[in-house]
Structure formats: C-alpha cells, structure tokens
C-alpha cells in the first residue's frame, strides 16, 4: 500500500494511515458474506404412480432400509432411493435429529421422552409410536 521512511513526518503518517483504513474498509465491503445454510423444504416422493412434493414439515420420522429410506408422514409412508446419512445432511438439524443408526425424527412430532436402559431414551411421538434414542446418537447431537 505505502511505506514510510525515517524520520517520519506526522502529516505524512496521518495520510498513509487514513489511506490504509480506507483500503481495509473497502476490502471488508467486498468480502462476500456467508450464505445461510439451505435445507430441503420438500422431498420428491412417489405416490400411486405419480410423483409429489412432500413438505418436510409433514415428515414425522424416517427409517433406513439399505439404500432406501422409508418416510412416515401421518398415515402415509413413502420410500425414496436415498441413504439416511445423505438425507440427514439435507435436513435442518434444528428440526430433525438422527436418533439411532437407522432412524431420524422430526422434533416437532415428539410428545415426550422417557429414560431407558444404559443412558438411552424412549421417544414417544404424538401418534404414540415409540422409538429409541441411543446413547451414541444422543452424545453426537449434544456436541453439535
């Protein structure tokens, strides 16, 4: 940007300092701000030979089945060709939590939790379905 030679003239020092401040300010303005994380709002699923968009807010919980995931939304179930790990990466972690190796749950659908054996928890959904939140996945979610 600039340099000063000794002996330094105080007026020259002030001008150089102001120029440096301006450049730093301009550089800060040009730095792109990080974009907020974008999570899925809908999942493309098949229903009766058609494809529909399922809002993720309707999803109660999901269960892995090898390279497929079974989605439970109220009385409806849908199967998508996806791994549970990949699905978890695309969903908002404030709303969806992986509770064990093969299941994730929408926290808005949890009615209550009960202590279970060895530090695990039984999750009771609003439709009274019970799922197990294992120690390993409880510890992983508390570190985030």
DSSP secondary structure letters along 16-69? HHHHHHHHHHHHHHHSPPPPPP---SEEEEEETTEEEEEEGGG--EEEEETTEE
Count of domains for the chain: 1
Sign of the torsion formed by the C-alpha atoms of 20, 22, 25 and 26: negative
| Within a domain: 21 | no
| Within a domain: 10 | no
pTM: 0.71
| Within a domain: 124 | yes
| Within a domain: 66 | yes
| Within a domain: 117 | yes
| pLDDT greater than 90 at residue 29 | no
pLDDT at site 42: 94
State whether residue 97 is helix, strand or coil: strand
Residue 93 CB-density burial (10 A; 0-12 exposed, 13-18 middle, 19+ buried) = middle
| pLDDT greater than 80 at residue 104 | yes
**Strands ordered across the beta sheet of 110-115:** 110-115, 121-125, 130-133
- Domain region containing 76: 42-143
What CATH code is carried by the domain that includes residue 71? 2.40.50.1020
Quickly state the pLDDT bin for 26 (edges 50, 70, 90).
low
State the average pLDDT over residues 32-37: 68
| Within a domain: 89 | yes
50-78 pLDDT, tens digit each:
999 999 999 999 999 988 999 999 999 99
| pLDDT greater than 90 at residue 143 | no
Quickly state the pLDDT bin for 96 (edges 50, 70, 90).
very high
Distance, in Å, from the CA atom of 55 to the CA atom of 41, rounded to the nearest integer, reads: 6
Report the first-to-last Cα separation within the chain, whole angstroms. 42
Tell me if 105 sits within 8 A of 96, measured CB to CB.
yes
Distance, in Å, from the CA atom of 63 to the CA atom of 29, rounded to the nearest integer, reads: 46
| Within a domain: 27 | no
| Within a domain: 29 | no
């Amino acid at each position: 940007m600039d340099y000063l030679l000794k002996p330094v003239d105080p007026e020259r020092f002030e001008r150089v300092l102001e120029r440096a401040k301006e450049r730093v300010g301009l550089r800060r303005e040009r730095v792109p701000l990080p974009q907020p994380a974008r999570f899925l709002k809908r999942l493309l699923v098949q229903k009766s030979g058609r494809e529909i968009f399922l809002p993720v807010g309707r999803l109660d919980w999901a269960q892995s089945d090898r390279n497929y995931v079974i989605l439970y939304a109220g009385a409806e179930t849908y199967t998508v060709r996806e791994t549970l790990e990949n699905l978890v990466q695309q969903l908002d972690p404030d709303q969806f939590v992986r509770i064990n190796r093969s299941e994730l749950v929408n926290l808005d659908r949890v009615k209550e939790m009960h202590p279970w054996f060895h530090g695990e928890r039984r999750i009771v959904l609003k439709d009274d379905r019970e799922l197990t939140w294992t120690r390993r996945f409880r510890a992983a979610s508390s570190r985030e």
